[in-house]
Amino acid sequence: MSSSSRSSGDATNSSESTSSGDVVAAGKKGDNKAFSPSEGFVDDYTTTNNLPRHMTLELSWASYTALDSFGDRAYEHDFKLANDAAPAKCPDVRRYHWAWRVGNAPKDGVAWRTNFPSDSVPFLDTQLLDDCTRMDFTVGVFHPGALSAGVKYRINIDAGAGQLGSETYGLESQAAPNDCFFDIHSTYCLAPFSDKGRDELIGLHEANVPGCLYWYRDTDNRACL
């Protein structure tokens, strides 16, 4: 997005979700708030589709200042199901999670879509480095500078059904340096040799799937009505 298109300044952030709902004990908030989205929600439920576990994640940034703070880093909306009771290595991940990436391959058996603009280059992250205690459904963008303040972005994911009826999860915002040369768009290049900036939006084990939770960068998270 050109600088001229941002002349109106930061967008006003508004949400009807703050008006009611039970306060959920928030996980610790990180120190890297400069780039974090302002608010959003996670809503997970079961459907009758071939990939029956559905996950909807919404997020928005209140200001262009936050988006500009990424520089040339990518953004990852890091969403992971978490079962600490699972072994680090397991032959059948379905036994240990509510949803799974069918075939346990980086992109196999997951259908996803988003309204992130195409010039931001959206991606589904690889699960190559995650052990069996985590099931990764992270979606991000290589170029956050192409995003707009005040827009509600949505990520929709459909995945295979695991054998657990419920499971905890965590959500982080991450600014990931691209360690590839020549602006190569590969998830394998995102911070394998560099530290990611992280900000915790929903603390690990704070919430469960299936379920719905509104999260806020600066205030307590709230259960959906």
- CA–CA gap between residue 168 and residue 163 (Å, rounded): 14
pLDDT at 184: 67
- CA–CA gap between residue 169 and residue 189 (Å, rounded): 25
pLDDT greater at residue 152 or residue 17: 152
Percentage of the chain modeled with pLDDT above 70: 80
Interior/surface letters 52-74, b for 16+ CB within 10 angstroms, e for the rest: ebbbebbbbbbbbebbebbeebb
Q: Where are the domains of the chain?
A: 40-115+137-165+186-225
H or E segment at 37? none
Q: Taking all residues of the chain, what is their mean pLDDT, rounded to a whole number?
A: 83
pLDDT at 32: 59
pLDDT at 33: 78
pLDDT greater at residue 180 or residue 116: 116
Q: What is the mean pLDDT of residues 130-148?
A: 94
H or E segment at 66? helix 64-68
